[in-house]
Structure formats: structure tokens, C-alpha cells
């Protein structure tokens, strides 16, 4: 058995000079990767056998010098993942992160605060609450709106469903789905993110509780179809629990009719939620904010800062105009947790307990750029997408989604190969990354400019 003195503890907790040296080494490696990013492949280098061989050497039976390990790891990230920070990445809602948010990750990791309780991290919890309040105010939600940061939009949407179920049927908190004497119903557009099916499963009400509502033919939820579905469910004894309007659908970037959806929800006594995971950043833009008219009527809103707000992954937000429902849904008392009377503890108003200091990413981005800087970022995305749309149109390509939210769904002129073959060929070349998708029953090439 090895003597304790032989264990290289300094590898985990190096001295200040060694920390500085390694930080400088990593910074230099990353800068070198950034410098060559635009000239390299967007897609991974397919050499899995070599990578598997190299990876197999890490048996962790003996330590590896970080001086060798850090350059190796940066190289694997440069060659072994889709480069979402590449200027020709036109893929999913994953932008190049703002540099302040990268610095925020460094700060949060160095201090490693635990955000379950306000007493253990008063500065961090106050910063997050302040950012949430500023986002709520910018979105036009009523004074007193609150919420918290989440690891993803799915977590935020799960929080919304839990709040809706608790608000409509308070005994749901203690008895779960058995609290409903008749089946609960959740309404989403067919173009909404299908994570809602998994969320319903997690919530215990089952996937059949999700009603997939027809669209208007342009990728937006149809108010007529929604109203009819609510009427039919009510007549058949089901309980309308929540109506979800998407602001920035995954395929087309479309915005559902928010005001009409809010009115139907109010008439039905249902919770009105806006899933603005992508489109929520439009609140920064004077040009695009009118497209979100009606978001101020929401009981709750989801916004992902790691999408159009350009922070590092993952950084979602759940914001509600009814913050007391969060406490009703998630409150719990634990004798071992430090508490304070002046500030609510995050673990009593969210589904998570231990949590990273996520909100610092958006705080630093917003503080460094201001709303004007974010408006420039969002508006430039839209201008670039419109420029590309014009270029494609001049070559006979058709844009089928009338959005204007930085997402293009396009079809090549006839005759042409199947769009999925075209997309596969482009991705395989490594020159760019685009996606094949289906919009209103038509195969399209989806292009999203996030960089």
C-alpha cells in the first residue's frame, strides 16, 4: 500500500504559480484553436479508432501531467465535436457563446458556490434573482414576477407543468395524478418541441395528456383548432390544465399567436405558458419585440440564455407572474439546511437542490453588452438570414417559413436531389453544418444563423 505522502495531492490543488502556468497554457491552446476555427472543418474528423486507442490509455492507475493532457484535450475538442462556434455552423439553436459568459464559468468554477440555500451564497442568489427580475421586466411581465435559472429549457418547461398542475389541482402536490378525478390535458402545437411528451411522462400524467394541436398552415398554432380541442375535452370531462404557446419553434422559428392563446387559456381556467426558449431574446430588439406581443399575459415563460442570448451551455430560465405557486409546488423543510428569513431559499422554489451558479453567465453578458449590445447581436442575426434568403431566392430557392426569427426553411429549385441527401452531402464535406427537417409536411433544409 502506498504511503499517503506519495499521493500527488498537488495535482488536484496546485500552488499559485502552477495554477497560473496551467491557466496560461490552456489560454494559449484555446486561442490557437480559435485562430484556425474558420479555416477548418465544422464536423468531426472521423478517426474513431485512433481516438479510442488514445482514450484507452487513460486507466487512471497513474497520474498524467496536465502540461501534456491539456493540449491533447483541446485537440480532441477541435477534431472530435461539431464546431458550434464555427462561422459556417448553421445548425440548431446553439450559438457561439459570448466571451463574458465563458469568464463567468471560470469564476463560478473557482468559487464553486452552492445555490441551494440563500444563506450559503447570498451574493450569487441575489445576482440571479436580479437578472431574472430584469428579464421579466423587459418582457413586460407584471411587477413581482420571479423565477430561477435552470440547466435547460426542458427543466424550465417541467417546472411550468408542475406549477400548472399544482395551481389547477392543489392536491396534485401530495397525491400526484390521482388528484385528478378526470384526465388532465396539456395543449401544444404540433410544431412545438416534443420534449413536452417526456415532461408529461415525468410529471406522472402520461404522454396521452398532451394534445397536439393543428397549425395554421404556416407553422403556428391554430387558435381555432385550439379552442375546439379545449371545448371537446371539457365536454368529455377532461381538465384543461395548461396551454403552451411557442415563441420560436424548433424547426421554423415561428411564434404562435400569444394573445389568442392567452384568451383561450383564461376562458378555460388553464395555466398559460410561453415556451420562448429561442425567441425570448427578441425582447432585446426594438425591431423584434412587437412579435412577442402577448408574452406579458403569460403565467410563466421559458427562455434559454444558451440559445439566442449566447451564453455557455446550459443556462435556461423559468419566470412566472405567479411566484407563490413555485412555493406551493416545491416547498419543503429540511433541518440540515441553513435558512434565512429575509430571502427565499432556491431549493424551496425549484425542482433542484444542489445547483451551479448558472445566472452569472447571463449577468456578465448583459452587463458587458447592455440591452443595446444584445439588440445588435439579435438584429444582425436577422439581417444575415434575410441576406441569405435573398441570395438563395436569386438562385431559385424557396423559403417556406414566413418567420423572420433568424431561421430559414428552404427548398432547392426543381429538379433536385432529396433535401436530406443534399444536407448529408454538405455535412459530410465538413464545409458547413445544416439540418434536414420537416416543416408543414414538406422536407426542407433548415438554416439557423446563430454565430
pLDDT per residue as tens digits for the range 152-173: 999 999 999 999 999 999 999 9
* pLDDT at position 298: 98
Residues in the chain, overall count: 451
- Whole-number Å distance between alpha carbons of 18 and 15: 5
Q: Which of 348, 365, 382 is the last residue of a domain?
A: 365
Q: Which of 345, 365, 385 is the last residue of a domain?
A: 365
Residues 285 and 425 in one domain: no
Q: What is the DSSP letter of 243?
A: E
Residues 304 and 360 in one domain: yes
Q: In what order do the strands lie in the sheet with 442-448?
A: 398-399, 407-411, 442-448, 435-439
Residues 204 and 244 in one domain: yes
What's the grid cell of residue 126? Answer: 441575489
Residue 90 lies in a domain: no
* Residue in this structure with the C-alpha cell 429549385, named with its chain if needed: 413
Residues 293 and 358 in one domain: yes
How far is CA 234 from its chain centroid? 33
- Whole-number Å distance between alpha carbons of 310 and 374: 9
Backbone angles phi, psi at 134, to 5 degrees: -70, -40
Backbone angles phi, psi at 47, to 5 degrees: -140, 60
Helix axes 16-37, 66-80, angle to 10 degrees: 20
Residue 87 lies in a domain: no
- Whole-number Å distance between alpha carbons of 309 and 284: 9
Residues 189 and 42 in one domain: no
Three-class SS of residue 177? Answer: helix
Residues 175 and 322 in one domain: yes
Which residues of the chain have a pLDDT value below 50? 1-2
What's the grid cell of residue 190? Answer: 404540433
End-to-end distance of the chain based on CA atoms, in angstroms? Answer: 53
Residue 187 lies in a domain: yes
CATH number of residue 386's parent domain: 3.90.1150.10
* pLDDT at position 1: 41
Question: Is the bond leading into 139 cis (omega within 30 degrees of zero)?
Answer: no
* pLDDT at position 2: 47
Element of type H or E holding 272: strand 271-275
Residues 358 and 380 in one domain: no
Residues 153 and 42 in one domain: no
Residues 331 and 200 in one domain: yes
Residues 228 and 330 in one domain: yes
The pTM assigned to this predicted structure is 0.93
Q: Which of 299, 330, 365 is the last residue of a domain?
A: 365
* pLDDT at position 422: 94
Residue 88 lies in a domain: no
CATH number of residue 348's parent domain: 3.40.640.10
Backbone angles phi, psi at 155, to 5 degrees: -65, -40
Residue 223 lies in a domain: yes
- Whole-number Å distance between alpha carbons of 154 and 157: 5
Number of independent structural domains in the chain: 3
- Whole-number Å distance between alpha carbons of 267 and 248: 25
* pLDDT at position 341: 65
Q: In what order do the strands lie in the sheet with 316-320?
A: 146-150, 316-320, 300-304, 271-275, 239-246, 184-189, 210-213
Element of type H or E holding 112: none
Note whether 325 and 167 are within 8 A (CB): yes
DSSP string, 153-222: HHHHHHHHHHHHHHHH-TTHHHHGGGG-SS-EEEEEETTS-THHHHHHHHHTS-GGGEEEE-B-SSSSB-
Residues 52 and 113 in one domain: no
Note whether 99 and 359 are within 8 A (CB): no
* pLDDT at position 337: 76
In terms of DSSP bridges, do strands 407-411 and 398-399 run parallel, antiparallel, or are they unpaired? antiparallel
Range of the domain at 146: 105-365
Note whether 384 and 449 are within 8 A (CB): yes
Residues 278 and 206 in one domain: yes
Residue 91 lies in a domain: no
Residue 98 lies in a domain: no
Amino acid at each position: 500500500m502506498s504511503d499517503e505522502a506519495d499521493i500527488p495531492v498537488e495535482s488536484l490543488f496546485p500552488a499559485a504559480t502552477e495554477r497560473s502556468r496551467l491557466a496560461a497554457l490552456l489560454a494559449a491552446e484555446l486561442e490557437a484553436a480559435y485562430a484556425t476555427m474558420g479555416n477548418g472543418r465544422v464536423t468531426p474528423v472521423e478517426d474513431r479508432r485512433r481516438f479510442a486507442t488514445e482514450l484507452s490509455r487513460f486507466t487512471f492507475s497513474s497520474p498524467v501531467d496536465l502540461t501534456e493532457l491539456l493540449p491533447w484535450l483541446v485537440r480532441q475538442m477541435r477534431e472530435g465535436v461539431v464546431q458550434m462556434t464555427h462561422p459556417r455552423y448553421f445548425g440548431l439553436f446553439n450559438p457561439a457563446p459570448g466571451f463574458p459568459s465563458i469568464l463567468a464559468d471560470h469564476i463560478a468554477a473557482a468559487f464553486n458556490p452552492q445555490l441551494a440555500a440563500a444563506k450559503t451564497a447570498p451574493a450569487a442568489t441575489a445576482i440571479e434573482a436580479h437578472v431574472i427580475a430584469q428579464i421579466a421586466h423587459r418582457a413586460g411581465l407584471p411587477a413581482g414576477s420571479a423565477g430561477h435559472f435552470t440547466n435547460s429549457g426542458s427543466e424550465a418547461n417541467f417546472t411550468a407543468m408542475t406549477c400548472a398542475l399544482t395551481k389547477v389541482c392543489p392536491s396534485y402536490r401530495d397525491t400526484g395524478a390521482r388528484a385528478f378525478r378526470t384526465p388532465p390535458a396539456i395543449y401544444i402545437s404540433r410544431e412545438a418541441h416534443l420534449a413536452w411528451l417526456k415532461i408529461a411522462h415525468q410529471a406522472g400524467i402520461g404522454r396521452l395528456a398532451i394534445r397536439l394541436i393543428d397549425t395554421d398552415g404556416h407553422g403556428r398554432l391554430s387558435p381555432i383548432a385550439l379552442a375546439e380541442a379545449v371545448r371537446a375535452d371539457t365536454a368529455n370531462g377532461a381538465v384543461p390544465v395548461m396551454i403552451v404557446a411557442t415563441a420560436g419553434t424548433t424547426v421554423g422559428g415561428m411564434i404562435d399567436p400569444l394573445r389568442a392563446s392567452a384568451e383561450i387559456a383564461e376562458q378555460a381556467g388553464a395555466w398559460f405558458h410561453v415556451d420562448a426558449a429561442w425567441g425570448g431574446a427578441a425582447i432585446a430588439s426594438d425591431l423584434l419585440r412587437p412579435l412577442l406581443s402577448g408574452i406579458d399575459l403569460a403565467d410563466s415563460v421559458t427562455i434559454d440564455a444558451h440559445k439566442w442570448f449566447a451564453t455557455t451551455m446550459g443556462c435556461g430560465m423559468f419566470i412566472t407572474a405567479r411566484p407563490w405557486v413555485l412555493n406551493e409546488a416545491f416547498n419543503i423543510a429540511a433541518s440540515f439546511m441553513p435558512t434565512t428569513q429575509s430571502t427565499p431559499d432556491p431549493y424551496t422554489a425549484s425542482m433542484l437542490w444542489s445547483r451551479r451558479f448558472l445566472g452569472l453567465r447571463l449577468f456578465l453578458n448583459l452587463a458587458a453588452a447592455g440591452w443595446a449590445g444584445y439588440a445588435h447581436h439579435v438584429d444582425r442575426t436577422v439581417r444575415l438570414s434575410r441576406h441569405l434568403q435573398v441570395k438563395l431566392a436569386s438562385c431559385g430557392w424557396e423559403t417556406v417559413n414566413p418567420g423572420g426569427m433568424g431561421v430559414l426553411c428552404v427548398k432547392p429549385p426543381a429538379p433536385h436531389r432529396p433535401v436530406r441527401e443534399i444536407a448529408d452531402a454538405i455535412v459530410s464535406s465538413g464545409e458547413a453544418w445544416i439540418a434536414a427537417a420537416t416543416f408543414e409536411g414538406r422536407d426542407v433544409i433548415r438554416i439557423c444563423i446563430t454565430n
